[in-house]
Chain A
Amino acid sequence: MTIAPPPLEMRGIRKAFPGVVALDGVDLTLHAGEVHMLLGENGAGKSTLMKILSGAYAKDAGEILIDGARVEIGGPRGALARGIRVIYQELNLVPQLSAAENIFLGALPTRAGLSGLVDRRALHERTARLLADLGMTIDPRVRVDRLGLAQRQMVEIAKALAPADERSAAARVLVMDEPTSALTRREVEQLFALIARLAARGVAIVYITHRMDEVFRIGQRVTVLRDGRRVASRPLGEVTVAELVRLMANRDLSDHFPKVRAPLGPELLRLEHVSRAGALADVSLSLHAGEVLGIAGLLGAGRTELARVIAGADRCDEGRVIVGGSPVRFRGPADAIARGIGLLPEDRKAEGLVAGLTMVRNIALPHGRRLSKAGFLPPARETALATPIGDELRIKATPTQPVRLLSGGNQQKVVLGKWLAGDVRVFVFDEPTRGIDVGSKVEIYNLMNRLTARGAGIVMISSELPELLGMSDRIVVMHRGRIQAQLDAAEATEERVLSAALGLAGGIGEKNFNGDKDTKAGFAGG
Chain B
Amino acid sequence: MNRARRFGTVIGLVVLCAILWILTPYFLTVSNLLNIAEQTSINAIVAVGMTFVILSGGIDLSVGSIVALAGVVLGLALRDGQPLALALALTLAAGLVCGLVNGLLVSLGGLPPFIVTLGTMSIARGAALLVTEGRPISGFAASFRVLATGRVGFVPAPVIATAVVYLAAHVALAGTTFGRYVYAIGGNEEATRLSGVAVRFHKTMIYGVSGLMSAIAAVILTARLNSAQPIAGMMYELDAIAATVIGGTSLMGGDGTLAGTLVGALIMGVLRNGLNLLGVSSFLQQIVIGGVIVVAVLLDTVLKRNRM
Q: Which residues of A line the B interface, CB within 8 A?
A: 311, 313, 332-334, 336-338, 343, 345, 350-357, 361, 364-366, 368-369, 371-372, 375-379, 418
Alpha-carbon distance between A336 and B188 when the two chains are bound, in angstroms:
20
* Residues of chain A within 8 A of B184, CB atoms compared: 354, 357, 361, 365
Q: Which residues of B line the A interface, CB within 8 A?
A: 174-181, 183-184, 187-188, 190-198, 254-255
A333 touches B191 (CB 8 A): no
* Residues of chain A within 8 A of B174, CB atoms compared: 379
Q: Which residue of A lies closest to B250 (CB)?
A: A356
Alpha-carbon distance between A439 and B177 when the two chains are bound, in angstroms:
35
- Report the minimum CB–CB distance from A347 to chain B (whole Å): 9
* Residues of chain A within 8 A of B193, CB atoms compared: 313, 332-333
* Residues of chain A within 8 A of B198, CB atoms compared: 332, 334
A418 touches B177 (CB 8 A): no
A376 contact from B176, B190, B195, B197, Cβ within 8 A = B176
Given A333-B195, A337-B196, A351-B194, A372 and B188 touching (CB < 8 A)? Answer: no
A338 touches B175 (CB 8 A): no
B194 touches A355 (CB 8 A): no
Alpha-carbon distance between A378 and B180 when the two chains are bound, in angstroms:
11
25 contacts between A and B (CB under 8 A): A313-B193, A313-B194, A332-B196, A333-B195, A338-B196, A343-B194, A350-B191, A352-B191, A354-B184, A354-B188, A354-B191, A355-B187, A356-B187, A357-B183, A357-B187, A361-B184, A365-B180, A365-B192, A366-B197, A375-B177, A375-B178, A376-B177, A377-B177, A377-B180, A418-B195
Q: Which of A337, A354, A369 has its CB near the most chain B CB atoms (within 10 A)?
A: A354
Alpha-carbon distance between A337 and B193 when the two chains are bound, in angstroms:
11
Given A350-B190, A357-B187, A365 and B176 touching (CB < 8 A)? Answer: no
B196 touches A333 (CB 8 A): yes
A378 contact from B175, B194, B195, B255, Cβ within 8 A = B175
A376 touches B181 (CB 8 A): no
Given A354-B254, A356-B255, A357-B183, A368 and B190 touching (CB < 8 A)? Answer: no
B177 touches A369 (CB 8 A): yes
Q: Which of B175, B181, B187, B191 has its CB near the most chain A CB atoms (within 10 A)?
A: B191
- Report the minimum CB–CB distance from B253 to chain A (whole Å): 9
B194 touches A372 (CB 8 A): no
Given A351-B190, A354-B191, A356-B187, A368 and B175 touching (CB < 8 A)? Answer: no
Alpha-carbon distance between A343 and B196 when the two chains are bound, in angstroms:
10
B175 touches A366 (CB 8 A): no
* Residues of chain B within 8 A of A334, CB atoms compared: 196-198
Alpha-carbon distance between A334 and B177 when the two chains are bound, in angstroms:
15
* Residues of chain B within 8 A of A338, CB atoms compared: 196
Alpha-carbon distance between A412 and B198 when the two chains are bound, in angstroms:
23
* Residues of chain B within 8 A of A354, CB atoms compared: 183-184, 187-188, 191-192, 254
B177 contact from A311, A313, A337, A372, Cβ within 8 A = A372
* Residues of chain B within 8 A of A377, CB atoms compared: 175-177, 179-180
B176 contact from A345, A350, A357, A372, Cβ within 8 A = A372
* Residues of chain A within 8 A of B179, CB atoms compared: 377
A368 touches B194 (CB 8 A): no
Alpha-carbon distance between A366 and B194 when the two chains are bound, in angstroms:
8
Alpha-carbon distance between A371 and B188 when the two chains are bound, in angstroms:
21
- Report the minimum CB–CB distance from B233 to chain A (whole Å): 30
* Residues of chain B within 8 A of A369, CB atoms compared: 177
Closest 7 CB pairs of A and B: A354-B187, A337-B196, A368-B177, A334-B196, A366-B195, A365-B195, A354-B188
B180 touches A368 (CB 8 A): yes
* Residues of chain B within 8 A of A376, CB atoms compared: 175-177
Q: Which residue of B lies closest to A352 (CB)?
A: B191
Alpha-carbon distance between A315 and B172 when the two chains are bound, in angstroms:
33
- Report the minimum CB–CB distance from A61 to chain B (whole Å): 19
Alpha-carbon distance between A336 and B192 when the two chains are bound, in angstroms:
14
Alpha-carbon distance between A350 and B175 when the two chains are bound, in angstroms:
26
A311 contact from B176, B187, B194, B197, Cβ within 8 A = B194
* Residues of chain A within 8 A of B187, CB atoms compared: 354-357
Given A333-B195, A337-B196, A368-B197, A350 and B188 touching (CB < 8 A)? Answer: yes
Q: Which residue of B lies closest to A374 (CB)?
A: B176
* Residues of chain B within 8 A of A371, CB atoms compared: 177
B197 contact from A351, A361, A365, Cβ within 8 A = A365
- Report the minimum CB–CB distance from A274 to chain B (whole Å): 19
A368 touches B181 (CB 8 A): yes
Q: A313-B193, A369-B177 are in contact. List 4 more A-B contacts (CB 8 A).
A: A353-B188, A354-B183, A365-B191, A378-B175
- Report the minimum CB–CB distance from B304 to chain A (whole Å): 12
- Report the minimum CB–CB distance from A467 to chain B (whole Å): 23
Alpha-carbon distance between A324 and B141 when the two chains are bound, in angstroms:
65
* Residues of chain B within 8 A of A379, CB atoms compared: 174-175
Alpha-carbon distance between A313 and B194 when the two chains are bound, in angstroms:
7
Q: Which residue of B lies closest to A57 (CB)?
A: B308
Q: Which residue of B lies closest to A343 (CB)?
A: B194
Q: Which residue of A lies closest to B174 (CB)?
A: A379
Q: Which residue of B lies closest to A378 (CB)?
A: B175
- Report the minimum CB–CB distance from B93 to chain A (whole Å): 21
* Residues of chain A within 8 A of B177, CB atoms compared: 368-369, 371-372, 375-377
B188 touches A333 (CB 8 A): no
A356 contact from B192, B194, B195, B254, Cβ within 8 A = B254
Alpha-carbon distance between A290 and B178 when the two chains are bound, in angstroms:
36
Given A354-B188, A354-B254, A375-B177, A366 and B183 touching (CB < 8 A)? Answer: no
B180 touches A352 (CB 8 A): no
B180 touches A361 (CB 8 A): yes
- Report the minimum CB–CB distance from B224 to chain A (whole Å): 33
Given A338-B196, A356-B255, A368-B197, A375 and B191 touching (CB < 8 A)? Answer: no
- Report the minimum CB–CB distance from A88 to chain B (whole Å): 16
Q: Which residue of A lies closest to B188 (CB)?
A: A354
Alpha-carbon distance between A434 and B184 when the two chains are bound, in angstroms:
24
- Report the minimum CB–CB distance from A164 to chain B (whole Å): 29
Alpha-carbon distance between A336 and B196 when the two chains are bound, in angstroms:
8
Alpha-carbon distance between A334 and B176 when the two chains are bound, in angstroms:
19
Q: Which residue of A lies closest to B190 (CB)?
A: A351
Given A372-B176, A375-B177, A366 and B191 touching (CB < 8 A)? Answer: no
Q: Which residue of B lies closest to A369 (CB)?
A: B177
A353 contact from B175, B183, B191, Cβ within 8 A = B191
Q: Which residue of A lies closest to B171 (CB)?
A: A376
* Residues of chain B within 8 A of A311, CB atoms compared: 194
- Report the minimum CB–CB distance from A382 to chain B (whole Å): 8
* Residues of chain A within 8 A of B194, CB atoms compared: 311, 313, 333, 343, 345, 351-352
* Residues of chain A within 8 A of B190, CB atoms compared: 350-351
- Report the minimum CB–CB distance from B34 to chain A (whole Å): 33
* Residues of chain B within 8 A of A365, CB atoms compared: 180, 184, 191-192, 195, 197
- Report the minimum CB–CB distance from A402 to chain B (whole Å): 9
* Residues of chain B within 8 A of A378, CB atoms compared: 175
- Report the minimum CB–CB distance from A225 to chain B (whole Å): 21
Alpha-carbon distance between A355 and B252 when the two chains are bound, in angstroms:
12
